[in-house]
Structure 1
Amino acid sequence: MKNKLVVFLLAAVGLLVLPLIAQYAGNFWVRMIDFALLYVLLALGLNIVVGYAGLLDLGYVAFYAIGAYLFGLMASPHLVETFPAIKELFPNGLHSPIWLVIPLGAVIAGVAGVVLGAPTLKLRGDYLAIVTLGFGEIIRVFMNNLDRPVNITNGPKGLQQIDTTKVPFLNIDLGRPGELFGFEISGVTKYYYLFLALVVVSVIICYRLERSRIGRAWMAIREDEIAAKAMGLNTRNLKLLAFGMGATFGGVSGVMFATFQGFVSPESFSLQESVMIVAMVVLGGIGHIPGVVLGAVLLAALPEALRWVAGELDLQRLTDGRLDAAILRQLLIALAMIVIMLMRPRGLWPSPEHGKAAPTPTR
């Protein structure tokens, strides 16, 4: 117990100091860590659906988009400039505070998750994956085309000039650099601590869910739905709860993405993003929180690190334009995933309980 406490304290100190060290190498590295934390939030949410309940969801990015566009509409000049009635009510703009939009985004994304789950309750495996994939594409196409006849999402142009996060009562703007004990702290470093706090809260929630009666019921459904139903579990409501709970994480992540980027467009919520989030869960270890965090960090940081390497080496100039850096980066990521899954089919850090045989009864 004492050794675990020492490890936790050292890890906490390391996480607190990490962005302060990284920002001296450039804000690029801090931004990379920030996006890794955002993907950790998304992977933890998807792990509830895929890892705990065993429901393959390829449209998870839709909830990410819902949260991002919700904050984009409530914290940008778009609605005020488009609708005169809203301008009369809010002449200075909406500028909704983040503490209001986060729970609202979680609730709306959760409702969308239940709406997605309701018609798919009798589907399993590949059929469920196809339906959820279609749901994710429907949301992206809606965001891309809701600029006429009434301009709601601004279509492919996206929403711009989205407000940064402001800490209430402290007058701190996370989008602007500041100072702490004489050290200069950039805006991306401030966002790091916000994202880190959300990740810690999410890990605690997932940990408590995993060991609750609901979590054990989800795992029973994952292992054998028919047996779980025969034992009296309400599989219908439990599946809907898994979809709804997982979607709330996606909604909160979308809100954070919008305020961090200051811009959202449909291109950020493609099918490739959904597949990437599923890969994070599978690569790290399905149903195991530390493994999911590890998989999310690796797959989120690896593309950015390879982008930096390709830029430093200037691969296109060295090969006279025959080798595209983006394609090479995707190829290397795919090869790394194939090698890891061949060597570690249960993931990099699998759950010690999942996949074990039933204990042999003693006489």
Structure 2
Amino acid sequence: MNGYRKKLPVVLLLLVAAILPFLANNYWLDVATLALFYIVLAQGLNVVVGFAGLLDLGYAAFFAVGAYTTGILMTVYGWSFWLTLPVSIALAAVVGVIIGAPTLRLRSDYLAIVTLGFGEIIRLLAINLSITGSASGIYGIPRPSIGSYVLAGQLDFYYLILVIAILAVLAVKRLGTSRIGRAWMYIREDEDAAEAMGINRINMKLLAYSIGAVIGSLAGSVFAVKMSAIAPLSFSFTQSIMILLAVVLGGLGSIPGVVLGAVLVITLPELLRSVEDWRYLIFGIALVAMMLFRPQGLWPARYDAGQAASGETEAALSGRGDDDVNVDAEKCNA
């Protein structure tokens, strides 16, 4: 019975998301679609920042990699949108490793500065390379198609990004409750202790960067075909901050919290449009107040007994003793 009660809010949320296009006008449908993009991006960044504790101020770079890879392959080489996705994923994973490798020994402010620099490098490359259209960007990106049906309307892209958002949430949830997810959390809490326990922190950090990059690149690929035009301005430092804000606002490491944070970051400024001159001031004051009175986020992460039980099962299969299992369970509940 408890399992059904836990699943009921999820089912209701999916039902609302499915029927929302039939209840909203075109303007709010665009806002909802943008919120779904941010849900995908924020879940990818949640792997890096929320799970592994690696502060990343240049996450929009992965968003740009996916968008430009799809845009170039479709406009220059005439590829199908669906064929560009594996290339976009592979390239983003490589870029994630390239960005992650120099930061393995860095922490705190130094890590933030380096990731910020990499994000700006990607943006500047997009501005200066001719294949990316320089500062003007890439225009005339074809619409994707499924058989003879061309995805061109608002409704088509809403449901496309909704499916990707659901897959991203499910994938991140599975990662968070897996052995890999627990290894990330140990690294986040105490990197030296995690290494002493036998966790390969280098591989785990690179894996976090790569998985976060892959999720961001998927959102970028869909963004490119939805807008049919991309430019470096769409992947600025401000975008990275907005994505990070969604993660922090919802709760680091919290999957439903990140979803809530992404929705609020997009919808609140739109709801305040009636006070055009003051809306960003009000939005900023609300964020500061929230950080003061609820710094753990609106929906902080919680680790239940099921996650600890999963750790016990994996420990038994790997031959670890009861003492090690108890340590894992205590850390998951901490």
Q: TM-score, normalised by structure 1?
A: 0.80
Structure 1 residues 127 and 73, CA gap change in structure 2 (3 angstroms): same
2:150 corresponds to 1:173: yes
2:124 corresponds to: 141
2:273 corresponds to 1:271: no
SS in 2 for 1:57: coil
| Rounded Cα–Cα distance in structure 1 between residues aligned with 2:44 and 2:17 | 22
| Rounded Cα–Cα distance in structure 1 between residues aligned with 2:106 and 2:63 | 23
2:13 corresponds to 1:11: yes
| Rounded Cα–Cα distance in structure 2 between residues aligned with 1:341 and 1:43 | 18
CA contact (8 A) 2:82 2:144 kept: no
Q: 5 Å matches for 1:47-62?
A: 47-62=46-61
CA contact (8 A) 1:164 1:262 kept: yes
Q: Cα deviations across residues 147-199 of structure 1 (Å, max 9, x unaligned)?
A: xxxx21111111111111212x3x22121xxxxxxxxxxx1111111111111
2:216 corresponds to: 250
Q: Any unmatched runs of 5+ in structure 2?
A: 305-328
CA contact (8 A) 2:67 2:224 kept: yes
1:32 corresponds to: 31
1:295 corresponds to: 261
CA contact (8 A) 1:20 1:189 kept: no
1:282 corresponds to: 248
CA contact (8 A) 1:157 1:265 kept: yes
| Rounded Cα–Cα distance in structure 2 between residues aligned with 1:9 and 1:105 | 31
1:123 corresponds to: 106
Q: Cα deviations across residues 23-52 of structure 1 (Å, max 9, x unaligned)?
A: xx3x11111100100010000000000000
| Rounded Cα–Cα distance in structure 1 between residues aligned with 2:247 and 2:295 | 12
**In structure 2, what residue type is equivalent to 1:172?**
Y
Deviation at 1:20, TM superposition (A): 1.4
2:137 corresponds to: 158
Identical-pair percentage: 48
2:96 corresponds to: 113
| Rounded Cα–Cα distance in structure 1 between residues aligned with 2:201 and 2:62 | 23
| Rounded Cα–Cα distance in structure 1 between residues aligned with 2:270 and 2:145 | 28
| Rounded Cα–Cα distance in structure 2 between residues aligned with 1:42 and 1:2 | 29
Between Structure 1 and Structure 2, the one with more helix by share is 2
Q: How many residues align?
A: 305
| Rounded Cα–Cα distance in structure 1 between residues aligned with 2:184 and 2:154 | 37
**In structure 2, what residue type is equivalent to 1:336?**
A
Q: 5 Å matches for 1:327-338?
A: 328-338=278-288
Structure 1 residues 104 and 303, CA gap change in structure 2 (3 angstroms): farther
2:305 corresponds to 1:339: no
Structure with greater Cα Rg: 1
RMSD in angstroms over aligned alpha carbons? 1.8
Deviation at 1:202, TM superposition (A): 0.8
Deviation at 1:13, TM superposition (A): 2.0
| Rounded Cα–Cα distance in structure 1 between residues aligned with 2:81 and 2:255 | 27
SS in 2 for 1:75: helix
